[in-house]
């Protein structure tokens, strides 16, 4: 059955692609791009609309206010609970008799493999390219406060998951929206759940898929020389389809094992580059702080840096989006709050550590062009971003920055990018599928339809140019956040109750430390 | 107090040799026997999202399979010997878990088999017997 679909898909791709590609080099890419932009631009404009009378988009404010409220409501849980989170991950509180179940470390690693990826490499470059070094500052701030948001949503994800007789579990915002709202006697839970699922499906196709395919292609084309995007798209689509629909689980397992090492390696290489340029680290931090409040000649100035920083942080660590709640809800744990504690480390590792590394390297290596007279960055008005060496952006900019110190790095980064993209795609195919089955119900054929659509979007993503794709990806992820954060506001007293109860038992010694 | 031996048993030929050795010694010394089956598991390995979701069910299945195919047959076979026998199934690092089981049970000796493969894999990753020798705080017998 699955092999047949695989064959049909392959046949479809082989027939469809060359036929339309005959109208000239890049014809298909341009067509896909145009159609894509035509259909999505109105929605993108709505999501990123500025607050009346300002140039500050309401959605950035939405997420920041949420993060601030959760931070305040839970009394700076990301600071107070930080050490406890680390102890949980180390397994200090794990009952040895539960060995063999998913550990907190594994839950964290699995969730991280979905978020650590292109957001950290390409997304940061986009943010710094448009918003200047100052965007980094706001990205770190958004990451630190986002930890509280993640704590809230992941606690709820575990608390309101569905457990089935066969022992499997399904959870996520759609479940806390229905069950949590019902428990509190609130209306509209089921409607919000469906809305959230629709956005999740589209977000899975956008940020979790097209953006990844797009940047994977950009990096490959940068290393191998330019070639049409659909080739990368078809290759990625076929492999992804083989894994998610064809049951080639071993590929997923191998990816899941390599990706964490890639992540660690990326951080080590970044640190090496920083050490090599140690005398400029202070200067780079200076640029970041100064840029955060002045813009350093970047067109958007202070707000430009702020918005870019917040946007990319949300895109990278997914706090408030609701995806992490889906990932964490599958973990068996007696205390939902412990999953929240573990999850709050994700924005820290993802944004505060890894994204900052990328940003520092980009700033330190000087790939952003500076006007020697004024000391300000040279603004490329046509492209709407800071002028860079070779006028590159996104992942290519990161690549160029690392190549300044390590000339062999782009090739390695290409491998890392493809792997990161692939692992993020697998994660999002999982989130998307959970949302899909929530709406349409479970069943082999229904699931296969989603998986096929998912793979087709990989091709579109690889073929389209960055602008429309990145805007659409962001718009969908932020739409998820709109619905999810509303639900979190209504349900946060429940999390508070869980947290207070847990802390009380922790203090009284009822919750034992095992090592 | 009668002595107690912990024997690592996984159903393999090496495990069976260790068990036979343990049984004959226990008979001779009038000691009790703890038959321990450790399912290799690291809380620090990486899992895919599907594996996380299915883990609880898999664990149940693995425990049932271990009970049915590894532990039960041995218990039945040894019932006739009249020895005092306990059985344990645990998840963890084989050598560390055997030692921890032995300490918990108040055992005086650990007995494990060795499959005799001195290949590259054993050199790189070590064997249960090898690591046990490194970490044990109790007398330990390795049955070749």
Q: Is 70 exceeded by the pLDDT of residue B117?
A: no
Q: Which of B47, B49, B63 faces A430 most closely, judged by CB atoms?
A: B49
Q: Taking residues B68-90, what's their average pLDDT?
A: 87
Cα→Cα distances A251→A261, A422, B91, B98, Å: 16, 10, 26, 33
A225 φ/ψ sector (left φ>0, alpha ψ -120 to 50, else beta) = left
Q: Which of A101, A249, A327 faces B59 most closely, judged by CB atoms?
A: A101
Q: Which residues contact B64 (CB under 8 A, 6 or more apart)?
A: none
Neighbours of A291 (CB within 10 A): 28
Question: How many folded domains does chain B comprise?
Answer: 1
Residue B122 distance to chain A (closest CA, Å): 22
- ipTM given for this complex: 0.82
- pLDDT, tens digit only, all 515 positions of chain A: 444 444 444 444 443 443 333 333 456 667 777 777 788 888 888 888 887 776 667 887 888 899 999 999 999 999 999 999 999 999 888 888 888 888 899 889 888 888 887 788 888 898 888 888 888 998 999 999 999 999 999 999 999 998 888 877 889 999 999 999 999 998 888 999 999 999 999 889 888 888 888 888 888 888 888 888 888 899 999 999 988 887 777 777 887 788 888 888 889 999 999 999 989 889 888 888 888 887 665 656 677 788 888 878 877 888 889 999 998 888 888 889 999 999 999 999 999 999 999 999 999 988 887 777 777 777 777 777 787 777 777 888 898 899 888 888 888 888 888 888 888 888 899 999 999 999 998 888 999 999 999 999 898 888 877 667 667 777 888 899 999 999 999 999 999 999 999 999 999 988 888 76
Q: Which residues of chain B lie closer than 8 angstroms to A330, CB-CB?
A: 49, 52-53
Helix (H) or strand (E) holding B143: strand B140-143
Strands B140-143, A385-386: parallel, antiparallel or unpaired by DSSP?
A: unpaired
Q: Which of A166, A257, A331 faces B46 most closely, judged by CB atoms?
A: A257
Task: Please name the residue of chain A whose CA is at the shortest distance from the CA of residue B62.
Answer: A100
Residue A504 distance to chain B (closest CA, Å): 27
Q: Which residues of chain B lie closer than 8 angstroms to A166, CB-CB?
A: 57
pLDDT attached to residue B30:
85
By three-state DSSP, how is residue A63 classified?
A: helix
CA–CA distance, A376 with A298 (Å, rounded to integer): 8
Q: What is the pLDDT of residues B9-56, one digit of tens each?
A: 888 888 888 899 999 988 888 888 999 999 988 888 888 888 888 888
Helix (H) or strand (E) holding B35: strand B32-40
Residue A422 distance to chain B (closest CA, Å): 13
Residue A81 distance to chain B (closest CA, Å): 22
- DSSP state letter for A368: B
- Put simply, the answer to whether B52 touches A331 (Cβ < 8 Å) is yes
pLDDT attached to residue B120:
62
CA–CA distance, B111 with B21 (Å, rounded to integer): 8
CA–CA distance, A239 with A152 (Å, rounded to integer): 35
pLDDT attached to residue A27:
63
- Put simply, the answer to whether B43 touches A332 (Cβ < 8 Å) is no
CA–CA distance, A143 with A344 (Å, rounded to integer): 10
pLDDT attached to residue A503:
94
Cβ-based interface (< 8 Å): residues of A facing B? 91, 94, 96, 99-103, 105-107, 109-110, 113-114, 166-169, 249, 252-253, 256-257, 259-260, 327, 330-332, 426-427, 430
CA–CA distance, A389 with A359 (Å, rounded to integer): 16
CATH number of the domain to which B125 belongs: 3.40.50.620
Range of the domain at B49: 4-143
Residue A261 distance to chain B (closest CA, Å): 11
Neighbours of A503 (CB within 10 A): 15
Q: Which residues of chain B lie closer than 8 angstroms to A106, CB-CB?
A: 43-47, 52
pLDDT attached to residue A299:
59
- Its CATH architecture, for the domain A39-508, is Up-down Bundle (1.20)
Q: Which residues of chain B lie closer than 8 angstroms to A257, CB-CB?
A: 46
Q: Is the distance from CB of A104 to CB of A272 less than 8 angstroms? A: no
Helix crossing, A229-244 with A409-440: angle to 10°?
50
């Amino acid at each position: 059955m699955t092999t047949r679909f695989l064959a049909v898909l392959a046949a479809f791709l082989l027939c469809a692609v060359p036929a339309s590609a005959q109208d000239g080099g890049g014809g298909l890419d341009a067509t896909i791009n145009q159609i894509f932009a035509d259909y999505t631009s109105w929605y993108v404009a709505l999501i990123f609309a500025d607050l009346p009378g300002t140039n500050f988009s309401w959605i950035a404010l939405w997420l920041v206010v949420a993060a601030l409220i959760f931070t305040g409501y839970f009394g700076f849980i990301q600071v107070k609970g930080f050490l406890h989170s680390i102890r949980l991950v180390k397994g200090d509180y794990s009952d040895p008799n539960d060995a063999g179940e998913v550990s907190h470390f594994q839950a964290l690693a699995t969730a991280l493999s979905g978020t650590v990826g292109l957001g950290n490499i390409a997304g940061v470059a986009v943010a710094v390219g448009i918003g200047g070094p100052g965007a980094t500052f706001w990205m770190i701030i958004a990451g630190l406060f986002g930890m509280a948001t993640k704590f809230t949503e992941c606690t709820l994800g575990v608390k309101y998951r569905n457990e089935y007789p066969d022992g499997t579990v399904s959870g996520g915002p759609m479940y806390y929206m229905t069950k949590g709202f019902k428990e509190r006697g609130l209306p509209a839970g089921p409607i919000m759940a469906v809305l959230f699922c629709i956005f999740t499906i589209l977000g899975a196709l956008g940020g979790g898929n097209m953006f990844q395919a797009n940047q994977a292609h950009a990096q490959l084309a940068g290393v191998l020389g330019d070639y049409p995007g659909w080739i990368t798209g078809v290759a990625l689509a076929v492999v992804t389809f083989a894994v998610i629909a064809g049951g080639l689980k071993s590929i997923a397992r191998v990816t899941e094992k390599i990706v964490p090492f890639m992540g660690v390696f990326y951080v080590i290489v970044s640190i090496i580059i920083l050490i090599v340029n140690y005398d400029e680290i202070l200067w780079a931090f200076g640029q970041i702080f100064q840029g955060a409040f002045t813009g350093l000649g970047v067109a958007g100035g202070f707000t430009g840096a702020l918005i870019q920083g917040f946007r990319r942080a949300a895109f990278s660590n997914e706090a408030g989006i609701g995806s992490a709640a889906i990932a964490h809800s599958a973990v068996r744990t007696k205390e939902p709050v412990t999953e929240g504690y573990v999850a709050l480390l994700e924005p820290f590792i993802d944004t505060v550590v890894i994204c900052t590394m990328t940003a520092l390297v980009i700033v330190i290596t000087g790939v952003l062009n500076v006007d020697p007279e004024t000391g300000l960055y040279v603004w490329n008005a046509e492209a709407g971003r800071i002028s860079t060496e070779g006028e590159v952006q996104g992942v290519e900019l990161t690549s160029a920055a690392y190549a300044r110190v390590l000339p062999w790095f782009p090739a390695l980064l290409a491998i890392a990018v493809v792997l990161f993209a692939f692992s993020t795609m697998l994660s999002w195919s999982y989130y998307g599928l959970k949302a899909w089955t929530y709406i349409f119900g479970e069943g082999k054929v229904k699931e296969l339809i989603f998986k096929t659509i998912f793979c087709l979007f990989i091709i579109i993503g690889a073929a389209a140019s960055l602008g429309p794709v990145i805007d659409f990806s962001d718009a969908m992820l932020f739409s998820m956040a709109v619905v999810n954060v509303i639900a979190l506001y209504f349900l946060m007293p429940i999390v508070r109750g869980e947290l207070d109860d847990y802390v009380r038992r922790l203090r009284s010694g009822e919750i034992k430390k095992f090592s | 107090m009668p002595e107690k031996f912990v024997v690592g048993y996984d159903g393999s030929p090496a495990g069976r040799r260790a068990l036979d050795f343990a049984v004959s010694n226990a008979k001779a010394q009038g000691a009790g026997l703890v038959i321990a089956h450790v399912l290799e598991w690291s809380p620090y390995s990486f899992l895919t999202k599907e594996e996380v979701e299915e883990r609880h069910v898999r664990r149940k299945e693995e425990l049932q399979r271990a009970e049915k195919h590894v532990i039960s047959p041995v218990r039945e076979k040894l019932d006739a010997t009249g020895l005092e026998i306990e059985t344990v199934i645990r998840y963890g690092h084989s050598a560390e878990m055997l030692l921890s089981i032995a300490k918990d049970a108040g055992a005086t000796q650990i007995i494990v088999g060795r499959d005799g493969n001195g290949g590259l894999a054993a050199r790189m990753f070590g064997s249960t017997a090898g690591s046990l020798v490194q970490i044990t705080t109790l007398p330990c017998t390795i049955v070749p």
